[in-house]
Amino acid sequence: MRYGYFDDTAREYVITRPDTPLPWINYLGNDGFFSLISNTCGGYSFYKDAKLRRITRFRYNNVPADDGGRCFYVCDGDTVWSPAFLPAGTPLDSYRCRHGMGYSVFEGRKNGVSASLTVMVPMGVNLEVQKLELTNDTDQAKTLTVYGAVEWCLWNAVDDATNFQRNWNIGEVEIEGGTIYHKTEYRERRDHYAFYSVNAPVAGFDTDRDAFLGQFRSWRNPKAVEERTSCGSIAAGWAPIAALRLNVDLAPGQTKTLLFRLGYVENPADRKFDALNVINKDLAHRMMQDFSSEAQFDTAFDALRAYWAGLLSRFTVHSGEEKLDRMVNIWNQYQCMVTFNMSRSASYYESGTGRGMGFRDSCQDLLGFVHLIPQRARERIIDIASIQFADGSTYHQYQPLTRRGNADIGSGFNDDPLWLIACTCAYIRETGDFSILDEPTPFNNEPSTEVPLLEHLRRSLNYTVTHRGPHGLPLIGRADWNDCLNLNCFSLTPGESFQTCSNFESGKAESVFIAGMFVKYGAEYAALCDRIGLADEAADVRRSVQEIENAVLSHGWDGEWFRRAYDAFERPIGSQLNDEGRIYIEPQGFCVMAGIGGADYGRRALRSAVSLLGNEFGLEVLHPCYSEYHDYLGEISSYPPGYKENGSVFCHNNPWVILAFCAVGDGNGAFDLYTRQAPAYIEDKSEIHRTEPYCYSQTIAGRAARTYGEAKNSWLTGTAAWSFVAVSQGILGIRPDYDGLVVDPCLPDHMDGFRVSRVFRGTRYDIIVRRGAQKGLVVDGRPVTGNTVPLTDAPSCSVTLTI
């Protein structure tokens, strides 16, 4: 069943009923000011950091789940309704939510009044603008009372939700005309404030939540709204809000437009005040002026749409497969940009108060956005590498505001360093910018420890080479990509972190997955060395790669698939010797991508993976699921069977298997797996899948789960980047390389070809792939041997590949 439809021309998903199984959200903002917005207009805003600079409040664990957010009420006679259905919850005569690229539109109609509410964060401004258009579709005059309201967060989202003994005393606002300024803590060390205003005279306001809502009520039914009034309350502590009331008279057929503006301002420390404790509001005034007319709104809206159109035009496909095209051209790339902006911080599943930027997460995310924003990818690589330690190991996370490594989590995730090689090589292949390798980059952000980035890559590899276990395989440390395979943890204390307790330190537990990574990225590093004249180093690295490959062949192959690991007692994991967890997905993806054991092992491993791990939504992480907790395995066995790392379809690793299929030339296998989980392909199963049908989720409950097929943790997942890599570079086979653009598709039998338009190093390549008798590559009319389209200075280049 569906709850809406894709409008590909507008690049929107149109939700046609408010009761989606879960809030279906969108992201607004590109740079400083960000908002999450659900299909009923819930969600919250923050500036740069969802924990430390939260602008509006959101209650996780709330009942009902998606209460609050942007609260609009239209009072028409006896009826109070909200254009986006919530918060009023009054059934609407019609409802639509259109989530687009960086904006959302809510269209609600009730008793002959239609509302269209467009919400966006314009480019380059720290502001969310909410354009509310109200139209009287009847032949009677209407006298409406309209409210727009938000609830302020006292900046630090964790403190806001916990430190009540202080916080209920500090809330402060200022009111100037119809503008409410939120200035809690501005009197002391903060130099930022927020404001909420509307471009029309207000009839009244409230700034104290309890005065506005009244006792025993909620945002669903504020007392002030019920009484069509405002109290003019001035918040003093407790919960400051901004609630604006307007009178809107509409003649028959008339439309009126209101612009509500939720802004964030920082002032220089010496220009904070106009008078004692009175905010300097200059910047806010300017922002409001810039968004005081519909024409200004429309110009900014057009600029936002043009920005996205430009960005997404860097890679487009026309394949004849409508769903594939909409994933590639619109939603998958859009999600990649969201992961660039949010990492794993703020979603409806990530509270924005926990993790900062993950080392491995950020490196992998980059694979999905490097072609869109190469310059920012470059900065990101340097930021990431700067938290590495001199021995090649690295902090697992860093805080985006400070860029410092997160000492609470520390290091010891032994896959981490290798991801730096993956993303740096991808960046150079995309841009040709070898100069990044010379960029002075510190260790642990300590001044004067800077070495060229290349040295960081070298130490990354070396870390794996020098940290190996009894079978010659890489040591796993606290965990590898699978954060829940904690082979040195042995935790028996409730609540203890599985990742950080590491109380066994066997020095023995090994990872076949990291071995696969090493073989793949070691080879990439060696190729890079060759390019920059380091032939000896390339040869050395290749020797290490060979050694580790041999270790996998001797100890990592289980007969029909690759093993996963060896535990602290040197026992295999992911083997026929096990009762549960006999096969894991990760090494089937990575070892096959790396070519270990050639196409023969590859095909066998993939056959085993599909037959043992496959369900209709993809391949599960492992099989059979662990039915009880084992301290020697860690968190993986803590989850009930079928959930998360214990046997869900953990979507992130499925694209590895798609790429593995491509590596062995199996286009049907690759495409089949792609379509099992690409959101657009499972839109019809939305009532089972439950999360948004326009973005990937982290997990889909496996066969062993009670809720098989139900997805969770939508949006912020490495699935976005890897799925884009799998479809664009694997199935469509358009791969950036040092010397040009490789065109090497791996299509399913039913696809006859496709067209791709791709910007690469300043040239637009128009590529046609088709089937035919006269095989080969033709570039600008001339046949070319091999499958690499050579670099050119021309602005455009036309390519035809006949397969």
Contact set with ligand NOJ (CB under 6 A): 344, 358, 360-361, 481-484, 645
**Residue type, position 592, single letter:** V
Q: Which residue is nearest to ligand NOJ (CB)?
A: 483
Kind and range of the H or E run holding 662: helix 654-663
Shortest distance (Å) from residue 132 CB to ligand NOJ: 38
Nearest approach, Cβ of residue 500 and ligand BGC (Å):
10
CA distance readout (Å), 791 to 367, 429, 761: 21, 12, 8
- In the bound state with ligand NOJ, the residue whose beta carbon lies nearer, of 361 and 683, is 361
Q: Read out DSSP for 180-245?
A: EEE-TTTTTT--EEEEEEESS--SEEEEEHHHHH-TT--TTS-HHHHTT-------BSS-EEEEEE
Nearer CB in complex with ligand NOJ: 33/481: 481
| Least Cβ distance, residue 396 to ligand NOJ (angstroms) | 9
- Nearest distance in Å: CB 694, ligand NOJ: 21
- 157, 352 contact by CB (below 8 A): yes
Q: Are strands 740-743 and 776-779 parallel, antiparallel or unpaired?
A: unpaired
* Nearer to ligand BGC among residue 699 and residue 728 (C-beta): 699
Q: Which of ligand NOJ, ligand BGC, none binds 12 (CB below 5-8 Å, type-dependent)?
A: none
Q: Report the partner that residue 442 touches, choosing among ligand BGC, ligand NOJ, none (CB closer than 5 to 8 A by kind).
A: none
Among 480, 483, 586, 710, indicate the residue that binds ligand BGC (CB under 6 A): 483
Please compute Rg for the chain using Cα positions.
Answer: 28
Which positions ≥6 away from 550 have C-beta within 8 Å? 472
* CA 425 to chain centroid: 22
Nearest to 242 by CA among 282, 200, 204: 204
Q: Are 362 and 385 a contacting pair, CB within 8 Å? A: no
Q: Closest Cα partner for 198 from 244, 141, 158, 234?
A: 244
Distance from the Cα of residue 442 to its chain's centroid: 27
Residue 632 partner contact from ligand NOJ, ligand BGC, none using kind-dependent CB cut-offs of 5 to 8 Å: none
365 in catalytic set: no
**CA-CA distance, 521 to 539, in Å (whole number)?**
14
CA distance 388 to 395: 6
d(CA 23, CA 69): 12
Q: Report which secondary-structure segment, H or E, holds 541.
A: helix 535-555
Edge to edge, the sheet with strand 763-770 lists 315-318, 753-760, 763-770, 796-802, 776-779, 782-784
| Binding at 617: pick from ligand NOJ, ligand BGC, none (beta carbon under 5-8 Å per type) | none
Query: Using CB under 6 A as the criterion, what x/- string covers residues 425-464 for binding ligand BGC?
Result: ----------------------------------------
| Residue 484 near ligand BGC by CB under 6 A | yes
The Cβ of residue 5 has, within 10 Å, a number of other Cβ atoms equal to 13
Q: Whole-number minimum distance, CB 389 to ligand NOJ, in Å?
A: 19
Three-state DSSP at 585 gives: coil
- Residue 94: strand pairing partners: 109
Site string for ligand BGC, 677-716 (x = CB under 6 A): ----------------------------------------
Backbone angle region of 768, left / alpha / beta, with phi > 0 → left and psi within -120 to 50 → alpha: beta
Q: What is the C-alpha separation between 668 and 594, in angstroms, rounded?
A: 20
Cα distance between residue 613 and residue 649, in whole Å: 9
Smallest separation (angstroms) from ligand BGC to the CB of 241: 33
Identify what 361 binds: ligand BGC, ligand NOJ, none; CB under 5 to 8 Å per kind.
ligand NOJ
Shortest distance (Å) from residue 645 CB to ligand BGC: 5
> 716 touches which of ligand BGC, ligand NOJ, none (CB within 5 to 8 A by kind)?
none
User: Whose Cβ is closer to ligand BGC: residue 332's or residue 499's?
Assistant: 499
* Half-sphere exposure (Cβ direction) of 792: Cα atoms closer than 13 Å: 16
Structure tokens belonging to residue 51: 């924990």
Residue of 416, 483, 666, 744 marked active site: 483
Nearest approach, Cβ of residue 716 and ligand NOJ (Å):
8
Residue whose token pair is 């090589």: 425
Site map 635..674 versus ligand BGC, x via CB under 6 A: x--------xx-----------------------------
Alpha-carbon distances of 572 from 471, 483, 583, 685, rounded to whole Å? 11, 18, 11, 38
Return the H-helix or E-strand segment holding 375.
helix 374-385
**257 vs 497 by CB, closer to ligand BGC:** 497
Size of the site for ligand BGC (CB under 6 A): 5
Give the HSE-up count for residue 388: Cα atoms under 13 Å, Cβ half-sphere: 36
Q: Which is nearer to ligand BGC, 13 or 696 (CB)?
A: 696
Interacting partner of 350 out of ligand NOJ, ligand BGC, none (Cβ under 5 to 8 A depending on kind): none
Nearest CB to ligand NOJ, comparing residues 361 and 510: 361
Q: What does 208 bind: ligand NOJ, ligand BGC, none (CB cut-off 5 to 8 Å by kind)? A: none
Find which of ligand NOJ, ligand BGC, none residue 360 binds, CB within 5 to 8 Å per kind: ligand NOJ
Q: What is the DSSP letter of 477?
A: B
Nearer residue to ligand BGC within complex by CB, 30 or 393: 393
Residue 413 C-beta: closest distance to ligand NOJ, Å: 8
* Closest residue to bound ligand BGC by CB: 483
**Considering CB distances under 5 to 8 angstroms, the limit depending on partner class, which of ligand BGC, ligand NOJ, none binds residue 455?**
none
| Segment 759 to 798, residues that bind ligand BGC, using CB under 6 A | none
Q: Which residues contact 479 (CB under 8 A, 6 or more apart)?
A: 413, 485, 486, 487, 499, 634
| Closer to ligand BGC by Cβ: residue 116 or 397 | 397
Contact 145, 131 (CB under 8 A): no
With beta carbons less than 8 A apart as the criterion, state whether 701 and 642 touch: yes
Q: Considering beta carbons, is residue 506 or 653 the nearer one to ligand BGC?
A: 653
* From ligand NOJ, ligand BGC, none, interface partner of 358 (C-beta below 5 to 8 A by class): ligand NOJ
**CA-CA distance, 479 to 151, in Å (whole number)?**
40
CB of 483 to ligand BGC, least distance (A): 4
x/- letters, 138..157, toward ligand BGC (CB under 6 A): --------------------
Cβ closer to ligand BGC: 74 or 484?
484
Instruction: Find the shortest distance in angstroms from Cβ 498 to ligand BGC.
Output: 7
Closest to ligand BGC by CB, 47 or 639: 639
Please, what is the minimum distance in Å from the beta carbon of residue 621 to ligand NOJ?
A: 8
Residues at the contact surface with ligand BGC, assessed by CB under 6 A: 483-484, 635, 644-645
Q: List active site positions.
A: 483
